[in-house]
Structure 1
Amino acid sequence: MTTAQALEWSAPGGSGVPADRLATLLGRDTLHPPLYASLALGVRALVADGRLPVGARLPAERDLAAALGVSRVTVSAAYRRLREDGWADARQGSGTWTRLPEASGVVAAWIPGAPRQGLLDLAHAAPSGPPEVADAYTAALAALPRYLPGHGYLPEGLPELRARVAERYTARGLPTTAEQVLVVPGASGGVTAAMRALCGAGDRVVVEHPGWPNALDVLAVLRARPVPVALDPGDTAAFVAGAHRAARQTAARAAYLVPDFSNPTGASLSAQDRERLVVSLQQQDVTVLADETMVDLALEGQRVPPPLAASGRPGAVVSIGSLSKSVWAGVRVGWMRAERPLLSRVAAAMSREHGAMPVLDQLAACALLDGLDAALVRRREQLREQRDVLVRALRTALPDWGVPVPDGGLALWCSLPPGTSSSVLADTCEPLGLRLASGSRFGTGHAFDDRLRLPFTQPPAVLRAAVDVLAAAAGASAGRAPARSPLVL
Structure 2
Amino acid sequence: MDQGIPLGGRISGQRLARLLGDWRRRGARQGAADLASGIRMLVLEGQLPAGTRLPSEREIADVLPVSRTMITAALDQLREDGVVASRRGAGSWITLPTGALSPAVDLAPSSRSQIDLARAAPPAVPAMAAAMEAVRLRMPEHLAGHGYHEHGVLDLRRRIADRYTARGLPTSPEHIVITSGAQHAIALALRLFTGPGDRVLVEQPSYPNALDAIRSVSAIPVPVPLLPDGWDLAGIAAALRQAAPRVAYLVLDFHNPTGHRLDDQGRARLGELLRRARTPAIIDESLVDLDLDGDPADAPRPMAAYADELVVTIGSASKSHWGGMRVGWIRARPDVVHRLVSARTAIDLGTAVYEQLVMAELLTDPESVLRARRAELVVQRDVLVESVREHCPRWTFRRPGGGLVLWCELDAPISTQIAVVAQSHGLRLVPGSRFAAQGGLERWLRLPYGLPVDVLREAARRLGAVADLVAGSTAAVDGDLAVPVA
SS at match of 1:289: strand
For residue 449 of structure 1, report the CA deviation from its aligned partner. 1.9
Instruction: State the Cα deviation string for residues 64-89 of structure 1 (Å, max 9, x = none).
Output: 436xxx88876676566556656568
C-alpha distance in 2 between matches for 1:228 and 1:91: 43
Aligned equivalent of 1:356: 350
Residue 22 of structure 2 is aligned to residue 28 of structure 1: yes
Gap change, CA 1:76 and 1:284, over 3 Å in 2? farther
Deviation (angstroms), 1:412: 0.3
1:348-402 CA distances to partner (integer Å, 9 max, x unpaired)? 3434433322222211111111222112222111111111111111112221111
Q: Which of 250, 259, 263 pairs up with 1:266?
A: 259
Which of the residues 35, 40, 46 maps onto 2:36?
A: 40
Q: 1:230 to 1:31 in 2, by over 3 A?
A: farther
Corresponding residue for residue 134 of structure 2:
139
Q: 1:37 to 1:288 in 2, by over 3 A?
A: same
CA displacement, residues 241-280 of structure 1 (integer Å, 9 cap, x when unaligned): 2222223222211111111001111011111221222321
The CA deviation at 1:158 is 1.0
Aligned match for 1:253, one of 231, 237, 246: 246
> In structure 1, what residue type is equivalent to 2:424?
P
Show structure 1 runs of 5+ residues with no match.
1-9, 107-111, 481-489
Aligned counterpart in structure 2 of residue 55 of structure 1, from 52, 57, 82: 52
Q: Which residue of 2 aligns with 1:115?
A: 104
Q: Distance in 2 between matches of 1:41 and 1:469?
A: 18
Separation in 2, partners of 1:91, 1:248? 54
- The structure 2 residue matched to 1:219, chosen from 214, 218, 226, is 214
TM-superposition CA deviations, 1:432-470 (whole Å, max 9, x none): 222111121211354122211111111111111111111
**Whole-Å Cα distance in 1 between the matches of residues 245 and 85 of structure 2?**
39
Distance 1:463 1:428 in 2: 18
Secondary structure, aligned partner of 2:354: helix
Amino acid at match of 1:311: Y
Alpha-carbon deviation of 1:182? 0.4
Q: Aligned residue pairs: how many? A: 453
Q: Output the CA distance in 1 between the equivalents of 2:417 and 2:73.
A: 19
Name the % identity. 41
1:305 to 293, 300, 319: 300
Q: How far apart in 2 are the matches of 1:428 and 1:50?
A: 17
Contact 2:199–2:221 at 8 Å: present in 1 too? yes
- Secondary structure class of the residue paired with 2:351: coil
5+ residue gaps, structure 2: 1-7, 107-112, 474-486
Alignment partners' CA distance in 2, 1:114 and 1:382: 20
Tell me how far apart the structure 2 counterparts of residues 463 and 44 of structure 1 sit (CA, whole Å): 24
TM-score using structure 1 length: 0.84
Distance 1:231 1:29 in 2: 29
1:389–1:464 CA contact under 8 A, matched in 2? yes
- Residue 353 of structure 1: SS of its match in structure 2? coil
What are the equivalent positions in structure 2 for 1:54-93 lying under 5 Å apart?
55=52, 60-61=59-60, 64-65=63-64, 78=74, 81-82=77-78
Q: Separation in 1 of the partners of 2:325 and 2:220?
A: 31
TM-score (norm 2): 0.84
Q: Distance in 1 between matches of 2:88 and 2:245?
A: 43
The change in CA–CA distance for 1:235 and 1:263 in structure 2 (over 3 A counts) is closer
1:49 aligned partner, one-letter code: E
Q: Match of 2:152, SS? A: coil
* Alignment pair present for 1:181 and 2:180: no
Once structures 1 and 2 are overlaid, which stretch shifts more, 321-330 or 274-283? 274-283
Q: What corresponds to 1:154 in structure 2? A: 149
Verify the 8 A CA contact 2:83 2:96 in the aligned structure 1: no
2:288 matched to which residue of 1?
A: 295
Residue equivalent to 1:483: none
Q: CA deviation at 1:478?
A: 2.7
Distance 1:91 1:216, change over 3 A: farther
Determine whether 1:423 maps to 2:416: yes
Change (3 A) 1:449 1:63: farther
Contact 2:103–2:116 (8 Å) recurs in 1 = no
Q: Is the 8 A contact 1:397 1:468 kept in 2?
A: yes
In 1: Cα distance, 2:79 partner to 2:128 partner: 43
RMSD of aligned alpha carbons: 2.9
1:454 corresponds to which letter in structure 2?
A: L
1:170 to 165, 172, 190: 165
The amino acid across from 2:366 in the alignment is L
| Partner of residue 202, structure 1 | 197
CA contact under 8 A between 1:190 and 1:334: conserved in structure 2? yes
SS at match of 1:355: coil
